[in-house]
Every structure is written in structure tokens, then in C-alpha cells.
Structure 1
Amino acid sequence: MTAQTEHCVRPLLAYRLADLAVEALIDEADLSPKPALVDRRGSGAHSDLDLRLMHASALSLWPCFKDMADAAQAFGVVGPSLREALGRIGREGEASMLATSGGVNTHRGAIWALGLLVASRALAPDDLEPASIAARAGRIALIDDRFAPAQAPSHGQQVQHRYGVRGAREEAQLGFPSVVLHGLPQLRRSRAAGSGEASARLDALLAIMARLDDTCVLWRAGRQGLKTMHQGAQAVLAAGGSATLAGRRALRELDNHLRGCNASPGGAADLLAACLFLDPLGSH
């Protein structure tokens, strides 16, 4: 590749990866019917979110993801300098998100997860293997950001301390096991079984929900809410998934139960967006 060609290709990759990340967020928001989450039906268990706001928030993050891809290409290797650049860009992206949403946390967890994955893809643009991309993102996440400002513990961090569970940071550091081992395999299984794309994506979400210690649910509804999510998601999959009549009945029951305890699986939703970003069918 000539220097002139490389000069043209590198920005195009950053644009493409930012497009894919935003598309993953919008596709996740649009997917319906998701249990207790914002979707085309309404606001789920949220009183401060709706689909319009989720779309606007996702679009506001395009420059953030593009800059993260640019940073990864500029540094070229996993290391403290890249990690600190990503942290700075992520904080700028969060400020833009909050300005767009009027202060509502729409996508803070998604900035972390998708930002790492975007950077990982940009470091090795020919690597389309989800497990490899996720593992490289995990290596980035293991590096401390020396310039991260001291802040009061987030809801997720408080829940981690209270219940002894891992949160979004640890999920990333481990190479996104909920995505690589559960969400993406279920997506492939459901497609292979003949489910439509929306049902396959719902099943992928449910496979994540069935196992994830979702700190959003724990914050809102404690261990009982988390148990309700785990058992309800497993019941949908055991009934044949969201493409079957029995599965849809179980999905409605799960939706009702989670709404009843005001528990919205926002962590699982972020990881579904990561699934859609890593999905080989959407990453070419």
C-alpha cells in the first residue's frame, strides 16, 4: 500500500467503524419487544427515556467512535498512551451524550464497551473474528487510565461492592464473555434454526440476560430482580426462543415481571449492541 493510499484508507476505516457502532446502538434500541427496555413499543421500565432520545444519543456519539478509531490507528499498539487517549475521548463523548439527552444517562456503558471494540477493530482492521477483537479490547481495558478524574462511585460500582459481582469494567477486561460465549452463539443458533433476524437478536439478548449479573437490574431491584431476569430469560429460550408462540408468551411474562419490579436490563442491552457490532454479518 502506498503512503497516499494509506492516507485515504485510514480515515475511511474510522468512518466505517463509527457508522457500525452507531448502527449497533440504533438497531439495539429499535429491536422489539425487549423486556422492560426502551423499544418501538414505548419506554419499558424507564420514565426518562424514549426511542427518540435513544436515537439522538446514539447519533451524538459518532464523532466519539470515529476519534477512538483514529487514535487506535495513530498509536498502532495496545498500551497506556492509547488507553489514556480513549479515556479522554470517551469522557468527551459522554459530555456530548449528556448535552444531547438533557443529562440523562442513555449510553454511558455503551461508550465504554463499543469504544473499546472500535479501537480494537481499528488496530487490526483485517481481523473480523469476534473473539479475537473482544480479547484485544480486553487487553486495552486492563490498562489503567492515569488521567481518569476521581469521581463518586457510580451505581454500578456501588452494586459491585454491595453484591460482590463483576461490572462493565470486568466484563470488558475478560474479553466480553457474555457476548462471545453466549450472545453471539445464540444469535447464530437462532438464525440456523430458521428464526427471523429480529427473533434471533432477541434470543441473543435473552442469552446474555440469562447469565449476566446486570448491575442496572441489581441497582433497581436487588437480587430478587436479578433472579427474575435470569429465570425469565432462561424460560423464553427453553420454550423455543422468541420466534415461537410459547417463547413469546414467556417473553411477555418476563416483560411484565421486570416492569413490575422496575428493573431494566441496561447492561444486557449494551452487550447486545456489542454483539451487533461484532456480528460478522454486519461487519463487512
Structure 2
Amino acid sequence: MMSHVACLPLPKRCEWLADLAVDALIEEANLSPKPGLVDRRGSGAHRDLDLPLMQASALSLWETFRSMAEAAHEHVDLDSTLRETLGALGRQGERTMLATTAGVNTHRGAIWALGLLVAAAACSPRLDPTRIAERAAHIARIPDRGVPPAAASHGQSVCARFGVDGAREQAQQGFPAVIEHGLPVLNASRAGGHAEHHARLDALLAIMTQLSDTCVLHRGGLHALRQTQAGARAVLDAGGSASFAGRRALQRLDDTLLALNASPGGAADLLAATLLLDGLQFMPADIRSE
């Protein structure tokens, strides 16, 4: 059984992690120009979403993320009790989100991904992104007996129909789209001297090239997924979003996704996860050492 180091309660760390999670969601929403997604330009392929709604949704989840972090601190083992507590908190967070958005699903997938990562980081003695992702995967693989019987989500239905992995499997595998693609490209783009928003766009595109995005599949099927992955690869192959050729390829991808009514929402959630893990390096020393 995987255990974390026994420690005193760390309310400052829990609050800081909640801040980091909310900031990651807001920064993902604000990032522009994202193909097919809500950003500062408009609603992308969505008719029921806009940037103020995404921002309000993110802010409404602060208490959820803090509670998840606190729950992880209070348990000696990463066990079924913690898993079920996190599941209950996540479902309450979904209710809070839906109340804020008048029933629009803005961040259900992000609650799952970022909630697990916040819990894993809450009392880990090591803040290495790969280590945190591994701990989150351990939690995600534990069955949650508290899940109420209900109809399958769009993502689960798509996974069954097309035989692909979804958000659940990404978490259970340790977020490979983030660890193997999003973070490395984010860091490589920065090292190449590109502006931060270009580095983040390139990280999003790297995730899109690999992810069987159930949001895209739900809206446009396999054809839309192939167009999404190939279009994202074309941007990176052209030099990334900071290059003239890359920006032209990015515009073509955006046009394609809008024509297909496809939105890579799963990749957007994993970009937020990328930003959260990246942000752990900036945890203040006084909180890190508590």
C-alpha cells in the first residue's frame, strides 16, 4: 500500500494548491488563440460557453480543491477511504460548478484531473511532476464505491463506442499526455526563447497530437479526431505557434475545428493539469518546508 509521510496539517499548502488549481484553469481559459476552444476571442465551437462563464466556474471550485488537499493530508494511507472522500468532494464540486453555470458542464473533467493532482501534491515530500502524477494514478486506480448508479457520461459512452482511453484512464496511467508531451514541450519552447503564451499553446498542441480526445470524438467522430491530431502536428512541424508558418497552420486548424463543430476540451483539461504541475516549482519555501 502506498503511504505518504505523516505530517502536521498544512493549511497554507492546501490553500496554495487550491489557488494554483484555480489559476491553472483560468490561465488555460484565457490562453489565446486556442483552436476550437473558448478563449479571449470568443466561444470557439461552443454555443453555451464563454470566457466569463469559464472564469466563474474556475473560481467556484476553489473550496473543492482545498477540501481535496485537506482530505489527503488527513489520511495516513492513499487508500479506499481517501479515494471515496475525494470522489464525494468531487461530486459536490460538480454540483457547485453546475449551480454557478446554470447547468453547463464547464469543468467536470478538470475537477477529476486537477483534484487528483492537488490531493497527490498535498502532502508529498517530493514535488517532482512525475512523482505527483504517479501518486495521483495510484489514487485513481482505487475503486470508488460511492459512485452513484447513473447513465454513462458522454466521455464514457465515447470510450465504449470507439475503444479509446478517456479521462479516467489518463489519470490511472499517470497522465502520460501531460508528463510525456505537455510538460516537455512547454519546457522546450521556453528554452527556445519563445514567449510564455507560445510555450503554452505548443504544450496544448503536443497534447492534442497524442490524445484520443473524447470531447472531439463526441462531437465529430473519428474523422474529427484525425483532423485534430494531424492539424496540431502540422503546427508543431511548422515551427510551433511562435513561427509565421506555425501561426498560419494554427489558423487552419482553428477553421477546421469550427467547421467540424469540434472542441478539444479533453486536451484543454490536460493543459490545465500541465500548468498545475509546472507551477509546483514555485511553491514558496516557507510552505514547502512546513
Q: TM-score, normalised by structure 1?
A: 0.96
Equivalent in the alignment of 1:190: 189
Q: Structure 2 CA distance, aligned partners of 1:16 and 1:53?
A: 23
The code of the aligned residue for 1:110 comes to: A
The whole-number CA distance in structure 2 between the counterparts of 1:129 and 1:197 is: 21
- The percentage of aligned residue pairs carrying the same residue is 62
Q: Which residue of 2 aligns with 1:149?
A: 148
Q: Does 1:94 align with 2:94?
A: yes
In structure 2, the CA distance between the partners of 1:229 and 1:278, relative to structure 1 (3 Å rule), is: same
- Which SS does the other structure have where 1:279 is aligned? helix
Q: How does 1:177-256 map to 2 (within 5 A)?
A: 177-256=176-255
Distance 1:165 1:18 in 2: 31
- Does the C-alpha gap of structure 1 residues 257 and 282 become closer, same or farther in structure 2, counting only changes over 3 Å? farther
**Cross-structure match for 1:162:** 161
Q: Name the aligned partner's letter for residue 20 of structure 2.
A: L
Q: 1:85 to 1:281 in 2, by over 3 A?
A: closer
CA distance in 1, matches of 2:34, 2:87: 31
Query: In the alignment, is the contact (CA less than 8 A) between 2:68 and 2:115 conserved in 1?
Result: yes
What residue number does 1:84 align with?
84
Aligned partner letter, 1:18: A
CA–CA distance in structure 2, aligned partners of residues 164 and 224 of structure 1? 15
Query: Partner amino acid for 1:15?
Result: E
> Residue 147 of structure 1: CA displacement?
1.0
Aligned position for 2:61? 61
Instruction: State how far apart, in whole Å, the 2-side matches of 1:29 and 1:282 are.
Output: 22
Q: Is the 8 A contact 1:28 1:273 kept in 2?
A: yes
Can you give the 5+ residue segments of structure 1 that lack an aligned partner in the other structure? none
Shift of residue 127, structure 1, vs aligned partner = 1.5
Residues 53-98 of structure 1: per-residue CA shift (max 9 Å, x gap): 0000000000000000000000132100000000000000000000
1:239-258: CA deviations, max 9, x gaps?
00000010000000000000
The answer for the alignment partner of 1:115 in structure 2 is 115
1:242–1:281 distance in 2 versus 1, CA, 3 Å? farther
Matched, 1:24 2:24: yes
Q: Quick one: distance in 1 between partners of 2:176 and 2:210?
A: 10
* Distance in 2 separating the partners of 1:37 and 1:116: 24
2:257 is equivalent to residue 258 of structure 1: yes
- Contact 1:130 1:280 (C-alpha < 8 Å) held by counterparts: no
**Does the CA-based 8 Å contact 2:83-2:139 persist in structure 1?**
yes
Deviation at 1:282, TM superposition (A): 5.7
* 1:283 Cα offset (Å): 3.8
Report the alpha carbon displacement of residue 123 of structure 1 after superposing the two structures with TM: 2.8
Distance 1:281 1:251 in 2: 29
Number of equivalences: 277
Greater mean alpha carbon deviation, residues 50-59 or residues 75-84 = 75-84
The CA deviation string for residues 188-232 of structure 1, in whole angstroms up to 9 with x for no partner, is 110011110000000000000001000000000000000000000
Structure 2: 5+ residue stretches without partners: 1-6, 284-290
Determine if contact 2:22/2:59 at 8 Å carries over to the other structure: yes
Counterpart in 1 of 2:3? none
> d(CA) in 2 for partners of 1:241 and 1:76?
44
**TM-score computed with the length of structure 2 as normaliser:** 0.94
Distance in structure 1 (CA, Å) of the matches to 2:254 and 2:240: 14
Q: Is the 8 A contact 1:128 1:280 kept in 2?
A: no
| Native 8 Å contact 1:156 1:215 kept in 2 | yes
One-letter amino acid of the structure 1 residue matched with residue 68 of structure 2? M
Shift of 1:175: 0.2
Matched AA of 1:70:
E
Q: CA RMSD in A?
A: 1.1
Give the Cα separation in 1 of the matches to 2:281 and 2:34.
21
Aligned residue for 1:251, secondary structure, equals helix
Give per-residue Cα distances to partners, 1:33-61, cap 9 Å, x unaligned: 00010000000000000000000000000
